[in-house]
Structure 1
Amino acid sequence: MDGTQEDSDSVLEGQALPKPGPTESEPLLARPASSPSEAALQLPKQLTTRHAFAVLVTLQIGSGIFASPAQVDSNVPSPGAALLVWALGGLLSWAGAASFAELGAALPLNGGMQEYLRHVYGDTAAFIMAWVYILGVKPSSMAIQSIVIAESIGSVTPNYSAVRASGQLKLIAALAFVLMVLLNSINTRFTMRLSESFTVFKLSTVGLIVLGGLLAVTAHLLNPHSSLSGSSDWYSRNWFQTRPTVSDGRTIDWTAMGAWDRYGHYCAAIYGALWAYDGWDNANVVASEIRDPGRALPKAIKAAMMVVLSSFELVNIAYYILVPWERLSSNNAVAVVAATSILGQPAGILITFLVVVSCAGSITSNVFSVGRLTMAASQRHYLPALFTQQGLPGGRAAEDSSASSGYDAPIYANALTLAVTLVYILTGSFRALLTFVGMAEWVFYVSTVVGLLVLRRREPQLERSYRPTIVLPITFIVVGSLVIIRSAIFAPVQSGVLAGLLFAGALISRARTG
């Protein structure tokens, strides 16, 4: 996560936060309701179908669509296969959104996924999730977004290869992240305004890329030799023909690869697509606040997922039209390359600016959410009390958090986020981090949807104003589990780090409870 997504007991990559307060982004901060009915009083039914549709679309269209295509393309044998992976990612996200919406309607608890895990499995599961998100998922997501900023800036420089080889991109990524943390450590109101302003840039960038693809197709139809027709690959080559791709600096020969290895690469590709779609898990928030969810929510989810899936397919088709196919798998700043290839350096600089701003928006949302999550975990004694400190060290937070002059940001929590994320930036690569984030998030996503089936059997008396067919959660669990298992084998380093975090979290939780 954009997408993210930014990032469900996370604020997922790339979306603007509507307002501060107890949301999905700060799962431990709100007081747990003693019952679903009590929690429902805390969440007024104020959203219509149109509102729910807008929320779900905005959450999912984030920075991931500018960064993930290379991860997907490098791990599949053809552009056609890549488009199928994007469709599969959209369908999986659709099934997940429907499942989370049922949980949101049945258990409208402030805290979303983390509170569902607590309700189904107990406090240990909720603690482990907070631990992994604070030290793993959120910092890795922000490291990915910072790396995309650096790659985008580097890709418009004339000596990009030399800059990348020298390690300067790591420095740019680290400096970009430090700047974003400093900006987000002023106060809450400033953070919210900053986040809201980024949404327009994200949507504008997506629209411009699709428009560029349409321009190239139109130019080619009018004049096959036009310089505006993008790469010749899209009209001269078979979209489903196997061709070599580049992954982590090495060329993959698909014709000499066995089925088991292909499966591993496809799992890595699916994680790339799923990270871009991230944001669907906020359907549970929509379910808790929508009027007449049994009727309105299916419409909102169906419409939102169709729009997002179609948008992502169109953007990726545009990439394959604008960028030579052999370059797409090796460049994490594919949006910049696409713009430069058809309209030259000025267009590349414009798209670079838009992508950088979009990723900065995702980082803003993530810094906001993980800071509040860290504070809340500290309030529950999951972390030292130091991390509850707001405002400047030695000073005090503003009495009124809405005051624009008050320094009410979680300074020590942000400092922890800064330190951990810099480690990921300096030691990790874009694709390794993306696989790690995918595995970590989907362990909890699948566990939560398993909890939905447990609740259907254990607590059938719960009022479920929205209940999708059981095929959707079962499909989500089966496919998600297969992807997690194969990815864990395919990427032993990332799975080892995740296993270590899970094990450490379990030990600490056990020590806490005695």
Structure 2
Amino acid sequence: MADKTRSTTQPSTGGEEQGLGEESGVSLKRKVTLLHGVSIIVGSIIGSGIFVSPGGVLGYAGSPLAALLVWAGCGIFCTVGALAFAELGTMLPSTGGEYSYIHTAFGGLPAFLTLWVNVVLIRPATQAVVALTFAEYSLALAFPAPCHAPRLAVFLLASCGLCLLTAINCWSVQLSLRIQTVFTAAKLLALFTIIAAGGVHLAMGNTQVLTEHMLAGRPSADGVPLAFYSGLFAYGGWNYLNFVTEELKDPYRNLPRAISVALPLVTTVYVLANVAYLAVLPPAALLASTAVAVAFAREVLGPLQYWVPVFVALSTFGSLNGILFTSGRLFLAGAREGHLPPALAYIHLKAKTPVPALLVTCLLSMVMLEVNIFFLINFLSFALWLTIGGAVAALLWLRYTQPHLPRPIKVHLALPVLVLIGCVYLVVVPVVQEPGSTGLGVLMTLAGIPVYVLGVKCHWKPGYITSLLGKLWHISPVWLYFEEWCVCVFVCV
């Protein structure tokens, strides 16, 4: 199974049959530039969080000054983690991110469990949450507060957003990258508007709110760790460029460059945006608001306040595009190694996109739209930091067991050690704070073990199952005529 799926990633050899079966030699193309890489990182990180709920960090931190330090600290931690991932991404420049790194270092089962939690939990739930947020804020102008958009309307718009972006990602890598760049620019413009409005507010002498409350309150030993935990949610996506290293032009140079531009940029923007919020809104108002940017705009932006829901919708739309783009590559990497059905490793002949993998991740996300997403979020972070910690442990293990591997980038040993300690802490915190949710996350992770034994290690499978799968993926002409049905998807959406 593994050998057959890997054949789709070898260099092209010519001929019109490429891209569909085991005879092909179609591969992903290096179309991701430095600008695209920065857009993927920034666009994946900045979603709705910075516009909606900075009050969560403030509530746990205990004081505005402590909250600002937490936002800066989270950015520094993610930058250090991204630098460690830069070593991994240039040492093992293949699609798949932490899945590929754990597979190389620790073998099949740990890698499969990493893939398992991403396939059944992390990616679908994350994409569903972002899609729902996009739908809710897109409908905000039609249903202004205190009215709420009908649940059916939210579901349909979220589904349309998922389908549209999936179709675009299937259709063209270049088009999806252009969308990512444009929407990243839009969300940065929105944040720069907030920062500028806060700066003008302070320059006009309105410093009373900031000076009176900056040192108010007292940080607590229990609250600050949870504030970091909440803040790191808003930085989620810092490692996503590693999932497309195989498509990155000159990855040895552009991967670290993209990280060194994107992470400091996001950290600076996040800190300054929170300063702007605190300059206008007292802590009590910021804590009470579930949409901080809306409350901020109501105070200082005048008629422009009605554009804030549009900005949030654009932000989440771009974030969803970045997550979908990388999710398809993760599923592709798992199929190459025989950990997912072989068809998920197929790459479209003309578009050079992993069409089956993208369709499957879209389908799983649409199923999650009907699940209690907010319950899933409670243990999403546990699984996320467990896999990131595993990838950093892989870096340290490969340093010990394979010291002669080519390492175009080699960070100081203290950096991955620091990140690994932080990941262990972030895995342990929810065990103490929310044992129920964490326990369910552990059970879902361990549920992958029998799936691995039966689906991957067990070589005896009923013949009719193998025959059915072969007919579904090899006989069907859907991949050959992708352009036609993709147009239909655009029309329906």
TM-score of the two chains, using structure 1 as the length reference: 0.71
How many aligned residue pairs are there?
435
Paired letter, 2:321: T
Partner residue in 1 for 2:418 = 475
Partner residue in 1 for 2:217 = 242
Segment drifting more, 173-182 vs 309-318: 173-182
Question: Contact between 1:146 and 1:173, CA under 8 Å: does it hold in 2?
Answer: no
Q: Distance in 1 between matches of 2:293 and 2:348?
A: 41
Does residue 336 of the first structure (1) align with residue 294 of the second (2)? yes
Task: Within 5 Å, give how 1:25-40 maps onto structure 2.
Answer: none
Partner residue in 2 for 1:90 = 75
Partner residue in 2 for 1:176 = 157
CA drift at 1:116: 0.7
Task: Within 5 Å, give how 1:365-404 maps onto structure 2.
Answer: 365-370=322-327, 373-374=330-331, 377=334, 382=339, 388=344, 400-401=350-351
Partner residue in 2 for 1:460 = 403
Partner residue in 2 for 1:233 = 209
Question: Contact between 2:128 and 2:366, CA under 8 Å: does it hold in 1?
Answer: no
CA drift at 1:329: 2.9
- Deviations along 1:169-199, one digit per CA (max 9) or x if unpaired, are 7555423321213324545227863663354
TM-score of the two chains, using structure 2 as the length reference: 0.74
Q: Percent identity?
A: 26
Paired letter, 2:322: S
Q: Which runs of 5+ in 1 are unaligned?
A: 1-27, 35-41, 244-253, 391-396
CA drift at 1:355: 1.0
CA drift at 1:271: 3.2
Question: Contact between 2:213 and 2:283, CA under 8 Å: does it hold in 1?
Answer: no
Q: Which runs of 5+ in 2 are unaligned?
A: 11-26, 459-493
SS at match of 1:462: coil
CA drift at 1:443: 0.6
Task: Within 5 Å, give how 1:304-323 maps onto structure 2.
Answer: 304-323=262-281
Question: Contact between 1:198 and 1:358, CA under 8 Å: does it hold in 2?
Answer: no
CA drift at 1:502: 0.6
Partner residue in 2 for 1:23 = none
Q: Distance in 2 between matches of 1:332 and 1:141?
A: 19
SS at match of 1:329: helix
Paired letter, 2:420: I
CA drift at 1:336: 2.5
Question: Contact between 1:60 and 1:278, CA under 8 Å: does it hold in 2?
Answer: yes
CA drift at 1:388: 4.9
Does residue 451 of the first structure (1) align with residue 383 of the second (2)? no
Partner residue in 1 for 2:321 = 364
Task: Within 5 Å, give how 1:89-108 maps onto structure 2.
Answer: 89-108=74-93
Segment drifting more, 333-342 vs 76-85: 333-342
Task: Within 5 Å, give how 1:105-144 maps onto structure 2.
Answer: 105-144=90-129
Indicate which of 312, 315, 340 corresponds to 1:355: 312
Paired letter, 2:179: S
Q: Distance in 2 between matches of 1:51 and 1:147?
A: 25
- Deviations along 1:341-393, one digit per CA (max 9) or x if unpaired, are 2123x4232121121122122223334544564566567664567x8599xxx
Question: Contact between 1:30 and 1:111, CA under 8 Å: does it hold in 2?
Answer: no
Q: Distance in 2 between matches of 1:292 and 1:133?
A: 24
Q: Distance in 2 between matches of 1:30 and 1:273?
A: 39
Q: Distance in 2 between matches of 1:471 and 1:85?
A: 21
Question: Contact between 1:68 and 1:272, CA under 8 Å: does it hold in 2?
Answer: no
Paired letter, 1:365: G
Segment drifting more, 44-53 vs 65-74: 44-53
Question: Contact between 2:5 and 2:335, CA under 8 Å: does it hold in 1?
Answer: no
Paired letter, 1:182: C
Partner residue in 1 for 2:185 = 203
- Deviations along 1:179-238, one digit per CA (max 9) or x if unpaired, are 2133245452278636633543443343344434433443454365xxxx8xx6324x23
Q: Distance in 1 between matches of 2:419 and 2:262?
A: 18
Distance 1:142 1:322, change over 3 A: farther
